[in-house]
Amino acid sequence: MSRCLLVILLFLAPLLGRAQGIVVLGDSISAGYGLQETEGWVHLLGQRLASQCSAMPVINASVSGETSDGGVSRLPALLERHQPDVLVLELGGNDGLRGLPPSRLAGNLEKMVSLGQQAGARVVLLGMRIPPNYGRAYTERFEAVFKQVAENNALPWVPFFLDGVVEAGQIQSDGIHPTAEAQPTLLDNAWPVLREVLPKDCQQ
């Protein structure tokens, strides 16, 4: 093998070995709590891309009950293993339900965004709102975190991922988790910002 060809192969090796795909790092909303695996919005996203963009597999790394602390802990290994082109962050709801400090959520989201970008992934943020159980001030500070992190890092983002779901009554009997009927709406909510970071042939 010529020296020139060897140099070219060494240069291309990291690119050829890189997986082209999407990692969704979320909580029970993306894990599909109470649903069949094939009913969740992440699975529906995978189906959509498989039909028009098979080079973009979708890896669902979501865990029910996950907080932003857990996301920070798990993300480095996920990035190393999957080397995704796109990282979707859908975390924070459990932080809010537990009354954890919004500043802690903000710091964790910033860390995950930084880790994703350093690994070469384009990051998408799915925002969340919570009931006013802890008072108006806490609720507003919590909601503002997602906007601030998105603006700080120029991220494509969704202000409220569950938009339209509660209004349609598509919530399970626990009063928290979306039903199977809500999953296409969740995908529709995420799709406009996901399109921004996908290759053109995946944007139909």
Q: What would the pLDDT profile of 54-74 be if each residue is shown by its tens digit?
A: 789 999 999 999 999 999 999
Q: Determine the pLDDT at residue 202.
A: 81
Which of 28, 30, 62, 68 is an active site residue?
A: 28
Single-letter residue type at 78:
L
Structure tokens at 195: 């399109």
Q: Determine the pLDDT at residue 3.
A: 53
Cα–Cα distance for residue pair 47/42, rounded to 1 Å = 9
Q: Determine the pLDDT at residue 55.
A: 80
Is residue 4 pLDDT above 90, yes or no? no
Q: Determine the pLDDT at residue 15.
A: 42
Return the minimum-mean-pLDDT range out of 51-55, 135-139, 172-176: 51-55
pTM: 0.90
- Catalytic (active site) residue 177: yes
Is residue 113 pLDDT above 80, yes or no? yes
Q: Cα–Cα distances in Å, from 108 out to 99, 137, 138? A: 15, 20, 17
Per-chain mean pLDDT for the chain? 91
Mean pLDDT of the region 129-144: 95
Which of 27, 64, 177, 188 is an active site residue?
A: 177
- Catalytic (active site) residue 174: yes
Return the minimum-mean-pLDDT range out of 3-7, 77-81, 166-170: 3-7
Is residue 135 pLDDT above 60, yes or no? yes
**Residue 128, SS3?**
coil
Cα–Cα distance for residue pair 105/101, rounded to 1 Å = 7
Taking residue 139's Cβ as centre, other Cβ atoms within 10 Å add up to: 17
Residue 197 φ/ψ, nearest 5 degrees:
-110, 5
Nearest to 125 by CA among 88, 162, 96: 88
Mean pLDDT of the region 40-47: 97
